[in-house]
Amino acid sequence: MLTPKQRSYLRSLATSLDPIFQVGKGGVGDEMIRGVSDALEARELIKLRVLEYSGLSAREAAETIAAATGADVVTVIGSRFVLYRKSEKKQRIEIHV
């Protein structure tokens, strides 16, 4: 669980990120979960986008993917959301308690 200060710091890092995954009409499937999990291991902080016709809100998609990957939802704004998960092998982002 992230503290408000940690969440704020991660939000500031995420402003320059481009979405690397899109949730489309296929929704959130096993293949997407694997891809997001791999991306979180490599980058720790990723931005995703929910397309208008997906049938899910950005909040729903964020909570679903975060639960499946063990990540924390940093922020949800409009159709975009940011996830964070500390890398097990190579930590890139240092967040303080």
Mean pLDDT (the chain, rounded): 93
* Distances in whole angstroms, Cα of residue 13 to Cα of each of 25, 32, 43, 87: 29, 23, 12, 16
69: tokens are: 């990957």
Per-residue pLDDT at 97 exceeds 70: no
pLDDT at 93: 86
Q: Per-residue confidence at 20, pLDDT binned at 50, 70, 90?
A: very high
Task: Dump pLDDT digits (tens) for 27-74.
Answer: 899 999 999 999 999 999 999 999 999 989 999 999 999 999 999 999
Matching CATH number, 4-84, of 1.10.1040.10, 3.30.110.60, 3.30.420.10, 3.40.50.800: 3.30.110.60
Residue 48, SS3? strand
Whether 32 and 21 have beta carbons less than 8 Å apart is answered as yes
45: tokens are: 């902080």
- For 11: left if phi > 0, alpha if psi spans -120 to 50, otherwise beta; the answer is alpha
Alpha helices per DSSP H over 16-85: 30-43, 58-69
Per-residue pLDDT at 22 exceeds 70: yes
86: tokens are: 């500390």
82: tokens are: 């940011």
Does 28 or 91 have the greater pLDDT score? Answer: 28
The pTM score is 0.93
